[in-house]
Amino acid sequence: MARSKAQTQELLDSYRTMLRIRRFEEAVARHFRAGDVHGFVHVSIGQEAVAAGACGPLGAGDVITTTHRGHGHCIAKGADPEAMMAELFGRDTGICRGKGGSMHIADPALGILGANGVVGGGIPLAVGAGLAARVRRTGTIAMPFFGEGAVHSGAFHEAMTLAVAWSLPVVFVCEDNGYAEFTRSGSWKGPTVADRARSYGMPAEEVDGSDVLAVRAAVLASAEPARAGDGPRFLVAHTFRFSGHYEGDPEPYREDDDRALWDERDPLAVARKALGSRHDAALEQLGEQVAEEIDAAVKRAAEAPYPTASEVFDHV
């Protein structure tokens, strides 16, 4: 299918977002190994197309909630990688003043209501944001991101139930990235995620989570009726967790053929192939820009001061 000029621009923009996420997370992983980034860190390498494709079409007033694996969603929704990196370095200039870290990264002013360390925990929060949008007639939508592992949780069920019961402007985005920790997707007898979603009486679509424009199109199609008051929508993005569950994961559970998928599933490679060679020069330049941006983010994070001890009592 031929691509319009606008679509090409969207693809270029999305590529940039994905690349920023990728380079950011590669830096995070490096600096985790170096001991600069602490605690539990989960990167979304391989899943960038979902973040970029889903957040791209959102407006400033739209909100997201995310999971323990939320860097990509934050960047795609507009968070500043420098402030994010400073957060992960535990610095006072961090996006949460060093108090959140990777698992709680957030920028509420940008509609990023936060990562969440509790599987399923962010889904009801987004439903509540949708409720607020309805009550306040803001015309905005809420989008919870969550993994396929979360759909067994009571929080998922109750959140879905409320969104349907109250026809809330929510677009649920489930990223099926092949694993929940060390357990392969589909290990549990039961319906597919999309069928599960449909069973609540909610339209659900499945989309190739490595194809950023496909994700984008699906989100656009879902967001419109949700925004118009036609009730919630659901997307399942089939994607691929290239890294371990957490940084440091030795991944003994990986199956041999896993890595083989990488070449065809890497969303950056997919986008690049779609763009063809015509943009090589521009993309090369973009690559340098992004590398510089992330290098600078790391540098400034490393130079930033830690919070002073007395700040422990702030914001309780």
Partner 1 sequence: MSETPRYMEAVNQALADEMERDDDVILMGVDVGEAGGVYGVTKGLYERFGAERVWDTPIAEAGVLGAATGAAISGLRPVAEVMYMDFISVCLDPIVNQAAKLRYMTGGGVTVPIVFRMQTGGGRSGGAQHSQSLEAVLAHIPGLKVFCPADARDAHDLLVEAIRDPGPVCYVENRRLYRRRDDEWDRPALPAGQPRIVRAGEGATVVTWGRMVSETRAVLDELDGAAANVELIDLRTLVPCDLAIVAESVRRTGRCLVVHEAVERHGPGGEIVARLVEQVLWHVDGPVRRLGALPTPVPYSPPLEAEMLPSPERIAEAIRALLDD
Ligand X SMILES: Cc1ncc(C[n+]2csc(CCOP(=O)(O)OP(=O)(O)O)c2C)c(N)n1
Burial of 40 (C-beta count, 10 Å sphere; 0-12/13-18/19+): middle
Burial letters 19-32, b for 16+ CB under 10 A, else e = bbbbbbbebbbebb
Residue 309: CB partners within 8 Å, gap ≥ 6? none
Among 22, 42, 77, 196, indicate the residue that binds a copy of itself (CB under 8 A): 196
Q: Which of ligand X, a copy of itself, Mg ion, none lies near 117, with the C-beta cut-off 5 to 8 A by kind?
A: ligand X
Check residue 150 for interaction with ligand X (CB under 6 A).
yes
Q: Which is nearer to Mg ion, 22 or 69 (CB)?
A: 69
Q: Which residues, numbered 127-156, are part of the site for Mg ion (CB under 5 A)?
A: 147-149
Which of left, alpha, beta for 144 (phi over 0: left; psi -120 to 50: alpha)? Answer: beta
Note whether 64 and 130 are within 8 A (CB). Answer: no
Letters for 207-246 (x = contact with a copy of itself by CB under 8 A, - = none) are ------------------------x---------------
**Sign, CA torsion 39/40/46/49:** negative
Find the binder of ligand X among 117, 139, 203, 307 (CB under 6 A).
117
Structure tokens at 184: 């392969």
- From the CB of 189, what's the least distance to a copy of itself, in Å? 5
Q: Does residue number 165 form part of the binding site for a copy of itself (CB under 8 A)?
A: yes
Q: Measure Cα distances from 165 to 5, 106, 168, 174, 229 in Å.
A: 41, 28, 8, 20, 13
Residue 68 binds ligand X, judged by CB under 6 A: yes
CB of 266 to a copy of itself, least distance (A): 32
From the list 17, 140, 177, 243, which residue makes contact with ligand X (rule: CB under 6 A)? 177
Q: Is 158 in the site for a copy of itself (CB under 8 A)?
A: yes
Q: Which does 188 bind (CB under 5 to 8 A by kind): a copy of itself, Mg ion, ligand X, none?
A: a copy of itself
Q: Which residues are near ligand X by CB under 6 A? A: 67-69, 117-119, 146-150, 177, 179-181, 241, 245
